[in-house]
Amino acid sequence: METLTSTITAIDAWVWQPYLMPLVLLIVGGWLTLRTGFIQLRGFPRAVRMSLGGAFAKEGKGGTITPFQALSTALAATVGNGNIGGVATAILIGGPGAIFWMWMCATAGMATKFAEATLGVHFRVRRESGELASGPMYYIEHGIPNKKAAKALAWAFAFFGMCAAMLGTGNMAQSSTVARTFVSAADLIFKVQVPMWVPGLLITVAVGLVLLGGIKRIAHTAEKIVPLMIAIYLAVTAAYLVINFAAIPHVFALIISDAFTASAAVGGFAGASVAKAIQIGVSRGVLSNEAGLGSSPIAHGIADVKHPAEQGLVGVFEVFIDTIVICSMTAFVILSSGMWTDPAFQGASGDLTAAALSSSIPFASAVVALSSFLFGFSTLIGWCYYGEKCFEYMFGSAWIKGYRAVFTALIMVGSLVSVPLVWALGTLLNGFMALPNLIGLAFLAGTTAKLARDYFSGRKEYSVTGEGGRAHGQPI
């Protein structure tokens, strides 16, 4: 197992070195920012209004789910244990400076997510089953003129998307963090030693019951638990930061300074270079907000909207909430506690976040355990759907139930696997999944810009309802 872990970690480090995936993500995000006229700035007020107002929208006829359900499903997949355990591992490996590069990833990622969600709606299809389907595999296949290259890229995305859903951060990394946080809370609060398989079994059963109902049940479940889980977690972290407000200026200065200079070795922290901060910050940023990964347009693309850019703006808000708000608050809690330098936590993930919060708030570890369970639960159901749609694109709908059974079984496996292995495997698969999507987004930047201009010029109506249906593989 140690050999496998070291091999995957080495490959992951190579893929995410500053001049490969991080550079590609930032270049594509910057290009889309320019082509859309800095959509993350000029469109942000409208994005907030639409996203929050969408909570009261009723389901329509033009899409499978409402815009808010699409946002909730996408947030269910993005707001996961990457916000609790992923931020912790980013600091432990890349130092405080990794958080700055996570912010840079999110800033460019807002434009990327706008493009993904907009193109997802624009190129969505109606499958032979009558259900809408969306995602990079469809906008790549139907948007890139060279059909052979387009088909190869679409299949590459679908294959790695399915693998990431089953083996990566959409599955085993979530159950691993849930199990560790649950066990840590039981020990800290009740002094009870709980085996890892107990919380692993609980999360496996809970997810399996929801997956039986398909996207409708997933969307309705996400719509109810996502706002609640975010509110609970933010309330506790905000309380901690108020108590420790005096430490915030120092933490902010530390993040900025370490982003451009090597992090010094302190306590159990071995130090980190600028290259490592960039590598870890960007990879964990993508893991958290999924901008550029290509996963969320699978949910955004089937929303009931009048114009594709409407859902694109919802995507902008999604990245802001996930990384700029939630990840930042987690980072400030961990860094202000000083526990990230404690040798006892150098192999930790969500348990470091729990311990940091508990240093000022009694029983905070129980709240983190609950948040971790809800975050992991929501991410698992969202990512099962993402992987399912990738599987369906390649092999059709006949074996979907078999896919769901394998996905559910791997949740249990993840709760028993080591932290370094699951996170390294997860970010590695994220890189393989993101590359074909980013190529597609770069080619379709003109289409994205045209749809943005069309929407902001005042034309709010757009034929995306697909009434009457279309043949499989034909955009609606």
What are the boundaries of each domain within the chain?
2-451
Q: Count the residues in the chain.
A: 476
| 175-232: pLDDT as tens digits | 887 888 788 778 877 788 889 889 889 888 888 887 776 666 666 776 677 778 788 8
Query: Do 451 and 315 contact (CB within 8 A), yes or no?
Result: no
Query: Do 165 and 384 contact (CB within 8 A), yes or no?
Result: yes
Q: Taking 90 as the threshold, does the pLDDT of residue 449 lie above it?
A: yes
Question: What's the whole-number mean pLDDT along residues 140-152?
Answer: 95
Measured CA to CA in angstroms, residue 158 lies from 222, 273, 283 at distances of 23, 34, 20
Query: Locate tokens 């700035």: which residue?
Result: 41
pTM: 0.85
Euclidean distance between CA atoms 435 and 441, whole angstroms:
10
Q: pLDDT category, 67, cuts 50, 70, 90?
A: low
Percent of the chain predicted with pLDDT > 90: 45
Q: pLDDT category, 172, cuts 50, 70, 90?
A: confident
Q: Taking 70 as the threshold, does the pLDDT of residue 44 lie above it?
A: yes
Query: Do 396 and 473 contact (CB within 8 A), yes or no?
Result: no
Query: Do 95 and 276 contact (CB within 8 A), yes or no?
Result: yes
Question: What's the whole-number mean pLDDT along residues 69-90?
Answer: 72
Query: Locate tokens 């936590």: which residue?
Result: 345
Estimate to the nearest angstrom the gap between the alpha carbon of 371 and the chain centroid.
16
Q: Which of 255, 257, 326, 264 lies closest to 289 in space, CA to CA?
A: 326
pLDDT given for residue 289 in this prediction: 87
| 114-137: pLDDT as tens digits | 999 999 999 999 887 778 899 999
Q: What is the mean pLDDT of the chain?
A: 85
In CATH, which of 3.40.50, 3.40.140, 1.10.3470, 1.20.1740 is domain 2-451? 1.20.1740
Measured CA to CA in angstroms, residue 444 lies from 142, 148, 282, 317, 321 at distances of 10, 16, 23, 22, 26
pLDDT given for residue 216 in this prediction: 65
| 415-439: pLDDT as tens digits | 887 767 877 888 899 899 999 999 9
Q: Taking 80 as the threshold, does the pLDDT of residue 233 lie above it?
A: yes
pLDDT given for residue 210 in this prediction: 75
Question: What's the whole-number mean pLDDT along residues 274-287?
Answer: 87
Least confident range of 13-17, 384-388, 460-464: 460-464
**Encoding tokens for residue 47?**
């994005």
